[in-house]
Amino acid sequence: MSGGRLWIFTPSFAEAWRSAGQRVPPAVRLLITPQEPSQQLALFRQQREAGAEAVTILDLGRIPERQPWAYISDAVNRSGSNPLRGLTDRMREPFIDVTTLYHRPADSAGLEVIALGDRYRDQIQVSPACGILHHLALVAHAEGFQVTGILVDEESLAGLDPAAFTGG
């Protein structure tokens, strides 16, 4: 794989996607990530060494103004945890610059979201919020990936055309 893009569905997004009757588009190379951050780091490293350069992570949430989906431009981590804790000896760099964490097309607006981590299901009323997307983004970014985060409004999922964000 050369210059490839990985697509990651968070567990809650994958479950809702299937429940809505959606299928993974053929253009999407879907990667399922383990829950443990050290295993995520190893998996991202393996994918980077295989030639992957970018990752797009999709998660469920509520989006203001009833948009069906939106790019993420920044996240406030309220999860109470840091997925990189204890991994600095295995990371490419001991400190990563998160000011450039999320990439999006230049002509696209992005949302600042609240990252709730494992508490996501209990606090879905917070808007806009994402579940584990931000943690996955941090681990992928630490391994050198260009990260695109997409938050999909849970109520728009059934009628959503995946080509809108997958490019086919």
* Kind and range of the H or E run holding 17: helix 11-19
Residue that is written with structure tokens 């990252």 in the block? 115
Q: For residue 123, which phi and psi values (nearest 5 degrees)?
A: -125, 35
pTM of the model: 0.83
Residue stretches of the chain with pLDDT short of 70 = 1-3, 79-80, 83-84, 89-91, 93-94, 117-127, 166-168
* Kind and range of the H or E run holding 142: helix 133-142
The string of pLDDT tens digits covering residues 64-80 is 777 888 899 888 777 66
Class of CATH domain 4-158: alpha beta
* Single-letter amino acid, residue 167: G
